[in-house]
Amino acid sequence: MPSTLFQKVWDLHAVRRLPNGQTQLYVGLHLVHEVTSPQAFDELNTRGWRVRAPERTFATIDHIVPTRSQIRPFADGMAETMTSALERNCREHGITLFDLASGAQGIVHVIGPELGLTQPGMTITCGDSHTSTHGAFGALAFGIGTSQVRDVLASQSLAMSPPKVRRIDVNGQLAPHVYAKDVVLTIIGRLGVKGGAGFAYEYAGSAIDRMSMDERMTICNMSIEGGARAGYVNPDETTFAYLRGRRFAPQGDAFERACQWWRGLASDKGAAWDDVVVLRAEDIAPTVTWGINPGQSVPVDSPLPDPAAARESDRAGMKEALEFMGLRAGALMTGTRIDVAFIGSCTNARLSDLREAARIVAGHRVAPHVRAMVVPGSQAVRAAAEREGLHEVFRDAGFDWRDAGCSMCLGMNPDKLQGREVCASSSNRNFKGRQGSPTGRTLLMSPAMVAAAAVAGEVVDVRGWTAGDAND
């Protein structure tokens, strides 16, 4: 029977059917960070349990780590306590920790792939919603809560019910200055933030096939924002080329054998998807959010929607969002003044993102009223960017060039919005308070759009825009 990658990988990892009808699923890779693990380790330690598979468990520090000065002890006592707890737990349980001295620290969803830990056909868990990122490699990757982190630490398995699978085909050619971020914001805008409930998303079609691994990771990363339990792309030659030679990937002949195996995991022609959605890449424009969830977005050249013309069930939420954001129906997002520009997060802080943003700002200056920062997704991304001189481009333009971490993606470290500041952000969530100020306002967009907004001092359409237009 032809089947989907989801079905194949699920079946390969199913240990048994549990009395409650769920499946006990073996976990091939468990990624751990400092925020959702302390309580889970405490529960193990209290019971005197050991971590079941420390060789399949890897940890890093990302959410609370300061990005301006990483000298220990951290100025923030809570950050220091959490970091120390993770160090102690990893030491006591024999888990590899990519700490600040490792050269491999970074956001958990950036370092897993770049170290070659993330591989096709794996089941992957992490106590973070955006674990779906790893699906870009043809893995089933699930974000889990703290009690499930405990379960996986203790048993290397997880109790789950299989979601349905929706294939989302994006066919055709993206226009210049239209990026993976615009694709995924468009998908979420069309299907809604709850549209993926009960589904895993399989991304396919010629536009996805042509994407780099970085771009596929951006798409899969935000699956969760569309309500999907996971998102994945079938593994192909692009996947294998990315993984070849990486530290934890199979080496030599073993790698060739692995590729052979991985190829066979891709969804079969004629597999039965539970739903299929098709988009034309040519219809996708640079996209920016105007509201307080990632589904409230518009093409940057289109007017904001009018709640009065919306479905009854959406009206109150749209009105609340417009009011909170200080925007009005019918207006354009272009020209919206920004206070902060943030290029970072596990969605868009990889080397290709920084290269594209640097290309936009090269030779120009950040607008005088804008606070702008670039936070690489990992120490490795930072080092690679510096080898190319990207840090000089950003610094010359007036950006802060920071150390790796989650930074202003969320308000758990010193990088926060102040008051009602408006932030052009390459991150993934624009919920009220997400960036550290209860009244701060987040506009999600591609790194290139953030870069252009930083220079212009306002939201601009990056297509056809040149920095000189704004700075002159």
Which one, 108 or 459, has the nearer CB to ligand SF4?
108
Which one, 8 or 109, has the nearer CB to ligand SF4?
109
Residue 164 Cβ, how far from ligand SF4 at the closest point, in Å?
25
Which one, 234 or 435, has the nearer CB to ligand SF4?
435
Reference 26, options 56, 2, 1, 46; nearest CA is 56
Contact present, 462 and 336 (Cβ < 8 Å): no
Residue 434 Cβ, how far from ligand SF4 at the closest point, in Å?
9
Q: How far apart are CA 298 and CA 302, in angstroms?
A: 6
Residue 452 Cβ, how far from ligand SF4 at the closest point, in Å?
22
Residue 283's contacts (CB-CB under 8 Å, 6 or more residues apart) are none
Q: Which residues of 283-319 are buried (b: 16+ CB within 10 A; e: fewer)?
A: ebbbbbbbbbbbbbbbbbeeebbebeeeeeeeeebbe
Residue 323 burial by CB count (10 A; 0-12/13-18/19+): exposed, middle or buried? exposed
Residue 346 Cβ, how far from ligand SF4 at the closest point, in Å?
3
Would you tell me which residues interact with ligand SF4 (CB under 6 A)? 62-63, 107-109, 128, 130, 345-346, 406, 409-410, 427-428
Residue 462 Cβ, how far from ligand SF4 at the closest point, in Å?
22
Instruction: Please state the φ and ψ torsions of residue 262, each to the nearest 5 degrees.
Output: -60, -40
Which one, 99 or 461, has the nearer CB to ligand SF4?
99
Which one, 117 or 409, has the nearer CB to ligand SF4?
409
Look up tokens 């790194």; give the residue: 447
Which one, 37 or 427, has the nearer CB to ligand SF4?
427
Reference 133, options 226, 229, 216; nearest CA is 216
Residue 147 Cβ, how far from ligand SF4 at the closest point, in Å?
19
Which one, 70 or 334, has the nearer CB to ligand SF4?
70
* Tokens matching residue 380: 């490795």
Residue 10 Cβ, how far from ligand SF4 at the closest point, in Å?
25
Reference 100, options 128, 127, 67; nearest CA is 67
